[in-house]
């Protein structure tokens, strides 16, 4: 990060959401002269550091990336040698983006053509460049396509597989990466290995002494859908609070209530736990247990137990092992290190070289780390610069097209609501409920000064925000970072308002992530005198 | 200085030329250090103990406290070892009457104007150099002023401030780039301040506590420690530290939890950690309390 | 940058003042009141915006000049326009004594109470003002920590003016002096000499200020200036200038019209630049080396070598700066040259730029010199109009331009690295050296800093050859030197003498000892220099001779004190000067200058801690630690004059 020349920070307010990562970006900006372009509908704290902020329309990222791609091709700035050596599908891509002229790009994104051009040229001409993104890309119904659009830019310019270059999706929690790596996604086994691959399954079956089912499972959206249809009747939730954290909260509660059996393993009595048939009180894994997590840079790191958990709770590994035992199967290895070593055996190409001792000595190692003398892998995909067989499979361009959010503003719901984070709060607020942040302002409806003037509100006036799915009442807050037509809320303060009552469960088919970043709402000054907390006003507050 | 992980990372870096070595003499002993190193680095390599106050391993040397001064042959004045880069053939003396006089006077100047009572290592330094701050008399001007207690997380007691600039650098260019505080005023009136001395909650402060982490005198202190010190229950000899990973985002900041009597009382991050360089954000530094609010459930 | 501002808006007047200096805002993100359609989708910022930081001091000065102080609203607007974090800007605003962060009347009289003016009655003048008007405005005020000074109510009424004491204003030849400032759309700033209590009260009393009260050196007819006397109450015109032998540096002072390029050219102007083009850059530097010219700012570094070092740098962006932050108490020669012969400095800077490859020059002139700033700015503008500055100087395909920056009341900014910080929009805190300015100076680029007098020397050297210049003076100290003679002498003024003339000759030139006629002591070199006495009249004024007796030529200061002067008061004022002017960065200087002032006060007030000897020992140790441990020359020399007073004037109380 600190030695790259150009960074496109796309759909991310990392200054708030990843503050220490942003330090490294700032070191680049201040010491190396890194130029920063921030693409975000809001002029966020991060955008204020940018050499240029590109304030595109919510959900117009594909159009912007395609217009940049076309400009790079037409200006003769693409990395021809790299494309010829490493990529497939360039011709189709070039044809696919041809309609995205700068003018069309401006029309679709709102960003002036000259600025799109400047950003495209800066990225393409840089010796080293990175694209970093977060939920502004991935919390859309066409998220996978949007990620493809960014990958296309990266392939077009060859900013991959090199020091100081690449693609960098910033992870929102300390183990988002690790969760996926460990197989907590529908199509993978631990070590990011395909469950559909018979050879992989065989290795695991042999080691575990059980037969594994061969099919790709459901993602979150599909699970909610299956619950609704009565196809999924039993659910085991570990450390997640879908009743507050998933889009269209009313609907989520509705389907959770249909379950025959809901088990929630939690450290708090969350809203989801309140709905459970069985609650398994467990420990805070980051300070009351030992194990590993994997950060955004694929670095496996040790978490260590610092304090004793509350009485009556059980360690997560103990719970899972015990469930295995009660179900009649000894799950084998107990204890974090033994389980980790089992993983090193089952996924040696990734983890063989990562003993607990080495993880401690080096403050973590980046996978793949296949042997005890391997230093870990700082960046991936350097194979794309190699020739012949060493190069491996070609990296494909994927032609993707602009659609825009599923729910577009109309006369009845004239605003686009987009969501994001505050610096001092986290997710649904549970883990930031224990301290008093001097910055906290609770949930607000952030609105542009122009819109506020038009509706006749000022900061602090309570407004009713309504979508097709529900409504909440919160104080308004004027934010110059917003433009007319766009309003902003967080998901942090379900005690104030459950923002997800408004959001839409329009999900990306591949990833199963909902379009938290865009839904249509109306905003009106709240006339009722009663201090309505939310449409769920009477419901018990979560912890 | 670099962490073990940084050394691994460097293996992947293209064309990083090894630095040339520079030989200097310290107290008659020859020592070679990489180009760009400071005299202090060279002294450390020889295991020499040079006192420092404003110098900090993660910050650009401010070279303002002047307690690390050494004698450099050919130089008109003493030179600050923390920031003076080595040049081939330098001859340095780290202890003699001249060096000790300046160090002693600096400690006396600070001791007579600032409350150093909870500054780790400073009373020992004062003893070692036989500094007697009381020499300047009972009416010597000092920086005493009321404690600033204006927010839930920090307390600022500038009577303990030696103006080492560390907090300003941590809040500013070196790490956080928030610039909530700066040195204001001039001369003996120089002090750390927000604009118009506005309380922290009105300022740009984002409560990362990275200033607290580097404060060498306890002028900046987290409320919990402040309270426990006030109650006389703060006892570092009873504290253990455990390194874990911060849960609040995917960056993977190492969090050192300081535990006393089974309770987390403070969170820091190791200065040598290449992810954080000792820095955290408000969530990492103060969010931990949620695991200890047990009565509410 | 993600900045947070206090909730305060600028007034229309403040907005106008800032916009007049910075130009209108580019966008709403840059401070425009209305958001354009483009603003809603684009903000250009980053480095481009952050690089405007260097305009911070000029913008704050614009506010100060317009409304007389820096309000929260105006301050916010400046920070927003320049993307400067408010806390940082606050650090800058509170650093400079001519900026006020407290409400103040628009009219303020800065009354010099420094040594030369003290010798001529400044203390009494201040006493009268205190008695008849109000307490002096209080510097170093920390809101929230300090109570406002008593009597503030009177002072902050706009009908009245206010006054404050000031360190040396560089008007010692017309002492006692004051600087009158009246903020407004067309701010009035006047350096006034021969100040009396009566006149001061007229300036800051209620009601309008009579015009003639303000008339002063501006009225000077340059043609007659040299001949004018300086004893008149209302109109001390051009200072006395004179010398021994041929005047090389002062020859045009009082002769040319400082506001006429034509007049300058008629008196030999721009001949040196033509010669420089003929010599080529190496040739120019060769002449300087041959002349053995050393810097006249105090450090006496060989000028040719400095230019050559910058010329040899691989970095091609280079700067040349004229250091006109003349603030050493007792010094006023730069003021004389800048007000009376400003084109000479423009020409010399142009030669320096040509020789070293600099494309941009600065004149950093102390804030207390309004007339000098006006004149040098005018000269620069005229030169640019005539094609002597700009993209193609004299048709030589050589590009060079000069910008004037004004200080705002900080002695330390005369230290070259503090001066860089000040131009860059920061607090004037000196940097640690090395790296030296020739390698990393202004904006981190190779930079030449030359004092005004040094630059004035460049012209005759280039024109007449280095060899000719080297013949003047002594082998080790060549050329002529300007001396600022003030205090109790017959004709205070600036005198140009060949190096090697004696102190006695100089004082004779200045009309001999005046006052009681008996010289008690003279301060040589400035506050950072030392004291000499009647017995030292044969001291040859060279670097080597002064060094041999533990003195220094410093900035060419000679302040004479007759035997009626209380030297304890003078020494204490010097100690107070260092205490007040310390930037506060390093411990030895920040605390040491305070402790030195305290110890001297106790000792001279006959209330020593323990014994006088104990205080003397303490002072000596403090002085040693300040000299050995301070970052810059201020702390390193803060004990010099005190030490010299102790040793030579026998300052221990009896």
Domain ranges of chain C: 12-93, 107-209, 261-467, 480-562, 567-648
Cα-based distances in Å from A329 to A261, A323, A333, C384: 21, 9, 12, 91
- Residues 6 or more apart from C167 whose CB is under 8 A from it? C112, C114, C327, C329, C411, C577, C580, C581
Tell me the average pLDDT across C430-434. Answer: 94
User: How confident is the model at residue A215, as a pLDDT?
Assistant: 94
Please report the residues numbered 80 through 109 in chain A whose beta carbons come closer than 8 angstroms to any beta carbon of chain C.
109
Same domain? A281 vs A312: yes
C234 pLDDT higher than 60: no
| Token pair in block for residue C91 | 């650090």
| Token pair in block for residue C415 | 């230290």
Strand order across the B263-268 sheet: B239-245, B254-260, B263-268
Tell me the average pLDDT across A389-415. Answer: 96
CA pair distance A193, A185, nearest whole angstrom: 11
Question: Is the Cβ pair C621, B186 closer than 8 Å?
Answer: no
Neighbouring chains of B at 3+ CB pairs under 8 Å are A, C
User: How confident is the model at residue B234, as a pLDDT?
Assistant: 97
Cβ contacts of A307 on chain B, cutoff 8 Å: 257, 259, 262-264, 291-292
Mean pLDDT of chain A: 93
Mention the CATH class of domain C107-209.
Answer: alpha beta
C222 pLDDT higher than 50: no
Question: Is the Cβ pair C624, B101 closer than 8 Å?
Answer: yes
Chain segment A118-163, per-residue pLDDT in tens:
999 999 999 999 999 999 999 999 999 999 999 999 999 999 999 9
Q: Give C11: exposed, middle or buried? Use CB within 10 Å, 0-12, 13-18, 19+.
A: middle
User: How confident is the model at residue B297, as a pLDDT?
Assistant: 42
Instruction: Write down the ipTM of this complex.
Output: 0.96
Q: Which of C1, C45, C444 to mutate to test the interface with A (most CBs of A within 10 A)?
A: C45
Cβ contacts of B83 on chain C, cutoff 8 Å: 432
Maximum CA extent, chain C? 79
C412 pLDDT higher than 70: yes
Question: Is the Cβ pair C42, A54 closer than 8 Å?
Answer: yes
Q: Which of A55, A105, A452 to mutate to test the interface with C (most CBs of C within 10 A)?
A: A55
Peptide bond before residue C302 is cis, with ω within 30 degrees of 0: no
Chain segment C207-216, per-residue pLDDT in tens:
667 666 666 5
CA pair distance C117, C125, nearest whole angstrom: 10
Phi-psi region of B100 (alpha: psi -120 to 50; beta: other; left: phi over 0): alpha
CA pair distance A441, A439, nearest whole angstrom: 6
Question: Is the Cβ pair A303, B245 closer than 8 Å?
Answer: yes
Tell me the average pLDDT across C569-595. Answer: 97
**CATH for C480-562 (3.40.190.10, 3.10.310.40, 3.10.20.600, 3.30.365.10):** 3.10.20.600
Cβ contacts of B15 on chain A, cutoff 8 Å: none
User: How confident is the model at residue B169, as a pLDDT?
Assistant: 97
Question: Is the Cβ pair C625, B102 closer than 8 Å?
Answer: yes
Four-residue CA torsion sign, C597, C602, C606, C610: negative
Question: Is the Cβ pair A362, B201 closer than 8 Å?
Answer: no
A449, closest residue in chain C (CA to CA): C35
- Residues 6 or more apart from B20 whose CB is under 8 A from it? B34, B35
Residue A68 Cα, gap to closest chain C Cα (Å): 16
Cβ contacts of A45 on chain C, cutoff 8 Å: 2
**What are phi and psi for residue C636, nearest 5 degrees?**
-65, -25
| C261-467: CATH number | 3.40.50.11540
User: How confident is the model at residue C238, as a pLDDT?
Assistant: 59
Domain ranges of chain B: 143-231
CA pair distance C40, C38, nearest whole angstrom: 5
Question: Is the Cβ pair B5, A19 closer than 8 Å?
Answer: no
Q: Is residue C419 a contact partner of residue C323, using CB atoms and an 8 Å limit?
A: yes
CATH of the domain at A122: 3.40.228.10
Mean pLDDT of chain C: 90
B232 pLDDT higher than 60: yes
Closest Cβ opposite residue C584 in set B106, B177, B190 = B190
CA pair distance B62, B69, nearest whole angstrom: 13
Beta bridge partners of C284: none
C235 pLDDT higher than 50: no
Question: Is the Cβ pair A50, C45 closer than 8 Å?
Answer: yes
Tell me the average pLDDT across C159-173. Answer: 90
Q: Which of B252, B284, B287, B293 to mutate to test the interface with A (most CBs of A within 10 A)?
A: B252
User: How confident is the model at residue C138, as a pLDDT?
Assistant: 64
Terminal CA-CA length for chain A: 38
The helix/strand count (H/E) of chain B reads as: 8, 12
Cα-based distances in Å from C552 to A317, B140, C464, C640: 80, 32, 29, 10
* Domain end point (choices A132, A155, A170): A170
Query: Considering only CA atoms, which of B34, B23, B20 is closest in space to residue B92?
Result: B23
Chain segment A294-343, per-residue pLDDT in tens:
999 999 999 999 999 999 999 999 999 999 999 998 888 778 999 999 99
User: How confident is the model at residue B109, as a pLDDT?
Assistant: 98
Chain segment C267-317, per-residue pLDDT in tens:
999 999 999 999 999 999 999 999 999 999 878 899 999 999 999 999 999
Same domain? A265 vs A341: yes
Residue C83 Cα, gap to closest chain B Cα (Å): 12
Cβ contacts of A449 on chain C, cutoff 8 Å: 35
Residue A469 Cα, gap to closest chain C Cα (Å): 29
Buried b / exposed e along A290-322 (16+ C-beta atoms within 10 A): bbbbbbbbbbbbbbbbbbebeeebebbbebbbe
- Whether the CB of B153 is below 8 Å from some CB of chain A: the reply is yes
User: How confident is the model at residue B295, as a pLDDT?
Assistant: 60
- Residues 6 or more apart from A360 whose CB is under 8 A from it? A302
Neighbouring chains of C at 3+ CB pairs under 8 Å are A, B
Coil, strand or helix at A237: strand
Q: Measure the CA dihedral C141/C147/C150/C153, to 10°.
A: 90
Same domain? A435 vs A512: yes
Does A539 fall in a domain? no
| Token pair in block for residue B99 | 């060096």
C583, closest residue in chain B (CA to CA): B187
Within 10 A of B289 (CB to CB), how many other CB atoms are there?
16
User: How confident is the model at residue A430, as a pLDDT?
Assistant: 82
Same domain? A18 vs A139: yes
Coil, strand or helix at C519: strand
**pLDDT-derived band at C162, boundaries 50, 70, 90:** confident
C159 pLDDT higher than 90: no
Q: Report the CATH architecture of C567-648.
A: Up-down Bundle (1.20)
C127 pLDDT higher than 60: yes
Lookup result for tokens 């006892």: B235
A475 pLDDT higher than 60: yes
CATH of the domain at A245: 3.40.50.740
CA pair distance C399, A123, nearest whole angstrom: 33
A543 pLDDT higher than 50: no
Bigger pLDDT: A245 or C218? Answer: A245
Same domain? A154 vs A195: no
User: How confident is the model at residue C143, as a pLDDT?
Assistant: 38
Closest Cβ opposite residue B290 in set A23, A285, A432 = A432
Same domain? A319 vs A223: yes
- Whether the CB of B280 is below 8 Å from some CB of chain A: the reply is yes
Mean pLDDT of chain B: 95
**What are phi and psi for residue A386, nearest 5 degrees?**
-90, 165
Residue A30 Cα, gap to closest chain B Cα (Å): 8
User: How confident is the model at residue B26, as a pLDDT?
Assistant: 98
Chain segment A516-535, per-residue pLDDT in tens:
999 999 999 997 544 444 44
Chain-centroid distance, C-alpha C592: 24
User: How confident is the model at residue B12, as a pLDDT?
Assistant: 79
User: How confident is the model at residue A542, as a pLDDT?
Assistant: 38
**What are phi and psi for residue B221, nearest 5 degrees?**
-150, 140
Residue A267 Cα, gap to closest chain B Cα (Å): 9
- Whether the CB of B242 is below 8 Å from some CB of chain A: the reply is yes
* Domain end point (choices A170, A192, A224): A170
| B143-231: CATH number | 3.30.70.20
Neighbouring chains of A at 3+ CB pairs under 8 Å are B, C
> What range does the domain containing A11 cover?
6-170
Tell me the average pLDDT across A99-109. Answer: 98
Question: Is the Cβ pair A423, B282 closer than 8 Å?
Answer: yes
Peptide bond before residue A69 is cis, with ω within 30 degrees of 0: no
Please report the residues numbered 41 through 70 in chain A whose beta carbons come closer than 8 angstroms to any beta carbon of chain C.
43, 45-56
- Residues 6 or more apart from A328 whose CB is under 8 A from it? none
- Please give the tally of structural domains in chain A: 3
Angle at C316 between CA C313 and CA C319, to 5 degrees: 85
Within 10 A of C233 (CB to CB), how many other CB atoms are there?
11
Q: Which residues of C touch A (CB under 8 A)?
A: 1-3, 28-29, 35, 38, 40-48
| Overall size of chain A counted in residues | 543
C654 pLDDT higher than 80: no
Query: Considering only CA atoms, which of B86, B107, B106, B104 is closest in space to residue B95?
Result: B104
CATH of the domain at A422: 2.40.40.20
Bigger pLDDT: C579 or C214? Answer: C579
**pLDDT-derived band at C515, boundaries 50, 70, 90:** very high
Cβ contacts of C40 on chain A, cutoff 8 Å: 55, 110, 483-484
- Residues 6 or more apart from B95 whose CB is under 8 A from it? B27
Angle at A32 between CA A28 and CA A35, to 5 degrees: 65
Lookup result for tokens 């089912």: A213
């Amino acid at each position: 990060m600190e030695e790259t020349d150009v960074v496109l920070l796309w759909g991310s307010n990392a200054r708030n959401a990843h503050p220490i990562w942003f330090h490294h970006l700032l070191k680049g900006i201040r010491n190396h002269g890194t130029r920063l372009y921030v693409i975000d509908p809001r002029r966020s704290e991060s955008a204020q550091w940018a050499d240029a902020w590109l304030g595109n329309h919510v959900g117009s990222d594909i159009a912007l990336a395609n217009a940049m791609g076309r400009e790079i091709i037409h200006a003769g700035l693409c990395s021809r040698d790299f494309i010829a050596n490493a990529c497939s599908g360039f011709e189709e891509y070039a044809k696919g983006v041809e309609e995205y002229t700068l003018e069309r790009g401006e029309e679709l994104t709102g960003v002036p053509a000259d600025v799109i051009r400047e950003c495209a040229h800066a990225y393409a001409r840089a010796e080293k460049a990175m694209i970093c993104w977060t939920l502004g890309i991935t919390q859309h119904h066409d998220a996978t396509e949007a990620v493809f659009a960014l990958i296309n830019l990266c392939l077009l310019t060859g900013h991959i597989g090199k020091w100081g270059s690449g693609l960098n999706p910033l992870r929102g929690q300390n183990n988002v990466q690790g969760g996926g790596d460990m197989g907590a996604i529908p199509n993978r086994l631990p070590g990011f290995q395909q469950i559909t691959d018979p050879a992989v399954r065989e290795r695991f079956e042999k080691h575990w002494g059980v037969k594994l089912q061969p099919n790709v499972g459901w993602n979150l959206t599909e699970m909610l859908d299956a619950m609704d249809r009565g196809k999924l009747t039993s659910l085991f939730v570990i450390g997640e609070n879908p009743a507050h954290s998933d889009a269209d909260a009313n609907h989520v509660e509705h389907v959770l209530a249909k379950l025959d059996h809901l088990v929630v393993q939690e450290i708090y009595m969350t809203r989801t736990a309140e709905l459970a048939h069985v609650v398994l009180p467990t420990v805070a894994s980051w300070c009351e247990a030992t194990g590993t997590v994997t950060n955004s840079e694929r670095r496996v790191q040790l978490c260590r137990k610092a304090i004793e958990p509350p009485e009556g709770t059980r360690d997560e590994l103990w719970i899972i092992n015990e469930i295995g035992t009660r179900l009649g199967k000894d799950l084998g290895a107990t204890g974090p290190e033994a389980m980790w070593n089992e993983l090193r055996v089952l996924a040696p190409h990734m983890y063989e070289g990562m003993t607990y001792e080495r993880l401690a000595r080096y403050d973590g190692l980046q996978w793949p780390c296949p042997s005890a003398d391997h230093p870990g892998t700082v960046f991936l995909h350097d194979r794309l610069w190699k020739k012949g067989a060493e190069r491996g499979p070609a990296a494909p361009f994927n032609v993707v097209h602009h659609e825009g959010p599923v729910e577009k503003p109309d006369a009845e719901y004239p605003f686009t609501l987009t969501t994001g984070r505050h610096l001092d709060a986290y997710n649904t607020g549970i883990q930031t409920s224990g301290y008093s942040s001097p910055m906290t302002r609770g949930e607000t409806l952030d609105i542009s000064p122009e819109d506020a003037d038009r509706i006749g509100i000022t900061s602090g006036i309570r407004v009713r925000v309504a979508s097709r799915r529900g409504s909440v009442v919160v104080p308004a807050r004027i934010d110059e970072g917003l433009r007319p037509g766009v309003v902003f809320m967080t998901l942090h303060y379900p005690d104030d308002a459950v923002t997800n009552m408004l959001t839409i469960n329009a999900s990306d088919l591949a990833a199963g992530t909902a379009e938290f970043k865009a839904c249509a709402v109306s905003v009106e000054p709240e006339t009722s005198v009663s201090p309505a907390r939310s449409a769920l006003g009477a419901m018990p507050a979560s912890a | 200085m670099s962490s073990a992980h940084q050394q691994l990372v460097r293996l992947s870096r293209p064309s990083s030329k090894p630095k040339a070595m520079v030989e200097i003499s310290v107290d008659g002993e020859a020592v070679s250090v990489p180009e760009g190193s400071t005299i202090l680095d060279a002294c450390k390599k020889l295991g020499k103990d040079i006192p420092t106050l404003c110098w900090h391993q993660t910050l650009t040397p401010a070279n303002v406290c002047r307690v690390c001064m050494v004698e450099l042959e050919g130089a008109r004045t003493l030179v600050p070892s923390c920031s003076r880069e080595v040049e081939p053939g330098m001859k340095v003396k780290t202890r003699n009457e001249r060096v000790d006089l300046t160090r002693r006077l600096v400690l006396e100047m600070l001791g007579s104007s600032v409350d150093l009572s909870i500054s780790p290592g400073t009373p020992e330094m004062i003893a070692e150099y036989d500094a007697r701050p009381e020499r300047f008399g009972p009416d010597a001007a000092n920086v005493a002023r009321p404690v600033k207690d204006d927010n839930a997380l920090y307390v600022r007691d500038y009577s303990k401030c030696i103006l080492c600039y560390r907090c300003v650098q941590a809040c500013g260019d070196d790490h956080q780039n928030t610039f909530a505080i700066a040195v204001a005023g001039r001369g003996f009136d120089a002090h750390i301040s927000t604009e118009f001395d506005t309380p922290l909650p009105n300022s740009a402060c984002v409560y990362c506590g990275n200033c607290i982490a580097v404060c060498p005198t306890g002028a900046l202190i987290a409320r919990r420690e402040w309270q426990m010190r006030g109650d006389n229950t703060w006892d570092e000899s009873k504290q253990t530290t455990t390194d874990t990973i911060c849960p609040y985002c995917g960056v993977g900041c190492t969090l050192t939890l300081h535990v006393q009597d089974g309770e987390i009382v403070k969170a820091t991050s190791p200065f040598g950690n290449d992810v954080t360089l000792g820095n955290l954000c408000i969530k990492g530094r103060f969010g931990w309390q949620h695991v200890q609010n047990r009565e509410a459930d | 940058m993600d900045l947070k501002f206090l909730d305060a808006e600028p007034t229309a007047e403040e907005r106008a003042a800032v916009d007049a200096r910075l130009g209108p805002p580019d966008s709403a993100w840059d401070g425009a009141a209305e958001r354009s359609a483009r603003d809603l989708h684009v903000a250009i910022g980053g480095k481009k915006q952050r690089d405007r930081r260097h305009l911070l001091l000029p913008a704050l000065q614009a506010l100060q000049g317009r409304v007389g102080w820096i309000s929260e609203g105006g301050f916010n607007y400046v920070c927003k326009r320049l993307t400067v974090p408010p806390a940082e800007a606050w650090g800058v605003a509170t650093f400079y004594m001519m900026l006020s962060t407290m409400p103040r009347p628009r009219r303020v009289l800065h009354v010099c109470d420094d040594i030369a003016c003290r010798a001529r009655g400044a203390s009494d003048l201040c006493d009268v003002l205190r008695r008849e008007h109000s307490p002096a405005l209080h510097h170093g005020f920390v809101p929230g920590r300090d109570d406002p000074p008593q009597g503030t109510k009177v002072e902050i009424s706009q009908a009245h003016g206010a006054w404050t004491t000031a360190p040396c204003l560089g008007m010692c030849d017309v002492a006692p002096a004051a600087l009158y400032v009246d903020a407004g759309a067309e701010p009035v700033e006047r350096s006034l000499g021969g100040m009396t209590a009566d006149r001061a009260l007229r300036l800051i009393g209620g009601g309008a200020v009579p015009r003639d009260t303000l008339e002063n050196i501006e009225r000077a007819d340059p043609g007659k200036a040299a001949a004018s006397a300086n004893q008149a109450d209302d109109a001390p015109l051009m200072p006395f200038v004179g010398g021994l032998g041929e005047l090389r540096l002062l020859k045009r002072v009082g002769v040319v019209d400082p506001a006429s390029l034509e007049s300058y050219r008629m008196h030999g102007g721009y001949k040196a630049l033509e010669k420089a083009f003929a010599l080529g850059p190496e040739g120019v530097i060769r002449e300087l080396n041959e002349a053995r010219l050393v810097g006249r700012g105090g450090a006496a570094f060989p000028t040719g070598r400095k230019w050559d070092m910058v010329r040899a740098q691989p970095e091609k962006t280079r700067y040349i700066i004229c250091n006109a932050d003349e603030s050493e108490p007792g010094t006023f020669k730069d003021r004389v040259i800048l007000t009376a012969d400003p084109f000479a400095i423009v020409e010399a800077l142009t030669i320096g730029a040509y020789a070293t490859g600099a494309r941009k020059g600065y004149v950093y002139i102390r804030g207390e010199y309004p007339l000098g700033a006006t004149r040098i700015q005018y000269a620069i503008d005229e030169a640019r109009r005539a094609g002597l500055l700009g993209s193609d100087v004299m048709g030589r395909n050589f590009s060079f331009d000069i910008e004037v920056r004004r200080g705002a009341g900080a002695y330390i900014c005369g230290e070259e690295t503090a001066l860089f910080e000040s131009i860059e929009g920061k607090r004037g805190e000196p940097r640690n050296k090395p790296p030296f300015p020739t390698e990393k100076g202004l904006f981190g680029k190779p930079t030449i800093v030359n004092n005004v007098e040094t630059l004035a020397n460049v012209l005759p050297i280039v024109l007449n050859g280095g060899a000719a210049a080297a013949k003047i003076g002594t082998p080790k100290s060549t050329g002529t030197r300007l001396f600022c003679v003030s205090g109790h002498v017959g004709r205070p003024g600036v005198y140009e003498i060949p190096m090697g003339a004696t102190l006695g000759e100089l004082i004779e030139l200045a009309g001999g000892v005046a006052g009681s006629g008996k010289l008690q002591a003279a301060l040589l070199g400035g506050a950072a220099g030392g004291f000499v006495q009647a017995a030292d009249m044969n001291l040859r004024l060279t670097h080597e001779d002064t060094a041999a007796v533990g003195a220094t030529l410093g900035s060419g200061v000679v302040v004479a004190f007759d035997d009626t002067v209380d030297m304890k008061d003078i020494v204490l004022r010097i100690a107070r000067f260092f205490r007040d002017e310390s930037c506060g960065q390093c411990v030895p200087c920040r605390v040491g200058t305070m402790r030195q002032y305290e110890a001297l006060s106790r000792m001279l007030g006959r209330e020593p801690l323990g014994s006088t000897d104990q205080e003397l020992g303490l002072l000596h140790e403090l002085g040693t630690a300040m000299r050995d441990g301070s970052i810059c020359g201020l702390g390193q020399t803060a004990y010099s004059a005190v030490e010299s007073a102790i040793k030579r004037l026998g300052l221990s109380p009896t």
